[in-house]
A and B are shown apart, each in its own frame.
Chain A
C-alpha cells in the first residue's frame, strides 16, 4: 500500500509537472 500511494502521489505530481514542462517547451518551440 505504501508503494502504491508513493507511485500514485509522486507519479501524479511529478508526472504532471514533467508533462507540463514538456508541453511548455514544445509550445515555445512552435511559436
Chain B
C-alpha cells in the first residue's frame, strides 16, 4: 500500500482550509447580497448564522475527516453505516458538479488578469461589451482548459508538495493583495459613506424574513461548510491536529475576508459614484455575480484618481486575487473527485486524468453558454444545502454526543465544545437546511409557471431531474460503491 501523504505543518493545513473557504463567493457574491438586503441589516443575521450553520458543520467535517480518513462516500459509510453510501456519493457529485463550472470561473479570472496587464481593460470604454464579446466567444473554453491543467498538475504533486505548498503561496498573497486594495479604497474621499451604509441596520429590513434567508444562504454557500471539501483535507492531518481551533480559524478567517472585500467595494462604489454606487451594486449587469466582478468593478477602477497605469495596476492585482481565491478552492474540488475515484479502485494518476477529463468535458457547456452555467450554479448550489444535511445525518447516526466528546473535543489543547452542539446538529441544522431547500423550491414554483420543466434554468424540475437521476444510480450501486470504497 502506498505511504499516506500528510500536511507537513499546521499553518500549511490551516492555509489550505482557508484556501477552500475563501473563494469567488467572498468577492463576487457577498457585496451584491449585502447591497440587495439593506447593508447593516444583512450583516447582523449573517454573523448569527455563522455560529449556527457554518461553524458547527465545519467542525463536523474536520472531525469526520480525521476520524475516517476517507472521501465523502467512505466518511458517510463509516459514520452513518453502509446503507448510506449513496449519501456520500451525492456529496461528492455536488462538489464535482460545482468543480465543472467553477474551473470556468477560474479561467475567467485568468483572462481578466491578462486583460488588465495588457492595458486593454484600463483603455476600454465599454466594459459590458468587452465582457459580452469574451463570454460569447471560444476564449472561455481555452482558459477553462488552462485552469484544469494547472489544477491537475498541482494535485499530481500530492498533498504536501502540491496542495499545501500552493496554498502557502496563494492564500497569503491573496490576503496581502486584498489589504492593499482595501487601504486604497478606504482612503478615498467619501469612502465613509459606503462604510456607513455597510454597517447601518434598519429595523424594517431586520424584520424582513428574506434578509434572514439571504444571510443563511450566504453562510451555506460561502464558508465552505457542508461541501465535503474540508473533510477530505482533514483526512491528511496527523492524530493530534486541532479540530476546534483550526475550524474556527477557517470560519472567522473566511468571514474576515468577506468583510474586508465588502468594505472595499462599498467604500469605492460610494466614493466614486455616490448613491448610484448602491444601485449599481444591487442591480449589476449581465448575470448578477459576473456583472459586479467583470463589468462594474473594472469600471470603478477606471474612476480611481491617477492615470491608466494606476487603473491597470489595481485591476491586475484585483483579478490576480480573484484567480488565486478561485484556484485555491478549485484545488480542493479536484482533490475530492480524484480521491473518490482513487478509493473506488482507480490508480491515482489515472484518477487525476479522469477527473481532469471529466471536468473539461462537463465544464465545456458552462464555458460556452451562460444559460447552462447559471443552471448548473442553481442545481448544485442548492445541492450544497443537501450536503450539509447529509453530513449532519452522519454525525447523528454516529451518535452526536459521542462524536462531540471523542472527535471534536478529543484533541489536547483545543477548546471544548459544549452540549449545545448536540442541539444544533440534531435540530437547528436540519431545520435550517430543510427550510432553505423548501424556500427555494417555493420561490421557483411562484416565479416560473413551468416550474416542473427540467429545461428551464431555475426550475424545480431541473433540480429533480439532475439530483433524481444521480440519486437513483447511487442507490442502485450503493453496495458496490461501499464495498469498493472500504476495500481501498
The chain A residues found within 8 Å of chain B, CB to CB, are 1-3, 5-6, 8-10, 12-14, 16-17, 20-21, 23-24, 26-28, 30-31
Contacts and interface: CB of A to CB of B under 8 A. Distances in A.
Contacts of B196: 2
Most chain B beta-carbon neighbours within 10 Å: one of A1, A3, A24? A24
Interface range, B side: 20 to 34
A27 B43 contact: no
Nearest to A30: B413
A14 B251 CA distance: 11
Contacts of A26: 413
Interface of B: 10, 14, 40, 43-44, 47, 50, 195-196, 199-201, 240, 242, 245-246, 248-249, 251-253, 255-256, 259, 413-415
17 contacts: A1-B40, A1-B200, A5-B201, A9-B47, A9-B259, A10-B259, A13-B50, A13-B255, A13-B256, A14-B252, A16-B248, A16-B252, A17-B252, A20-B252, A24-B10, A31-B240, A31-B413
A3 B50 CA distance: 21
A10 B251 CA distance: 14
Contacts of B40: 1-2, 5
Given A2-B199, A8-B47, A20-B248, 9 more contacts: A9-B199, A10-B259, A13-B259, A24-B10, A27-B242, A27-B245, A27-B413, A28-B10, A31-B240
A17 B47 contact: no
Nearest to A16: B252
A8 B242 CA distance: 27
A30 B413 CA distance: 8
Contacts of B14: 24
Contacts of B255: 13
Contacts of B195: 6
Most chain A beta-carbon neighbours within 10 Å: one of B47, B251, B252, B256? B252
Contacts, number: 63
Nearest to A3: B199
A4 to B, nearest CB: 9
Given A9-B259, A12-B47, A13-B256, A21 B249 contact: yes
Contacts of A9: 43-44, 47, 199, 259
A31 B415 CA distance: 15
Contacts of B248: 16, 20
Given A2-B40, A5-B40, A20 B413 contact: no
A31 to B, nearest CB: 7
A8 B252 CA distance: 14
A24 B43 contact: no
Contacts of B240: 31
B144 to A, nearest CB: 34
Contact of B242 (A1, A17, A24): A24
Contacts of B259: 9-10, 13-14
A5 B240 CA distance: 38
A22 B256 CA distance: 16
Closest 3 CB pairs of A and B: A17-B252, A27-B413, A16-B252
Contacts of B414: 27
A9 to B, nearest CB: 5
Contacts of B44: 5, 8-9
Contacts of B200: 1-2, 5
A22 B401 CA distance: 28
A26 B412 CA distance: 12
Contacts of A8: 44, 47
Contact of B249 (A20, A28, A31): A20
Contacts of B256: 13-14, 17
A16 B237 CA distance: 24
Contact of A24 (B47, B50, B201, B246): B246
A28 to B, nearest CB: 6
A23 B415 contact: yes
A20 B50 CA distance: 15
B199 A13 contact: no
Nearest to B255: A13
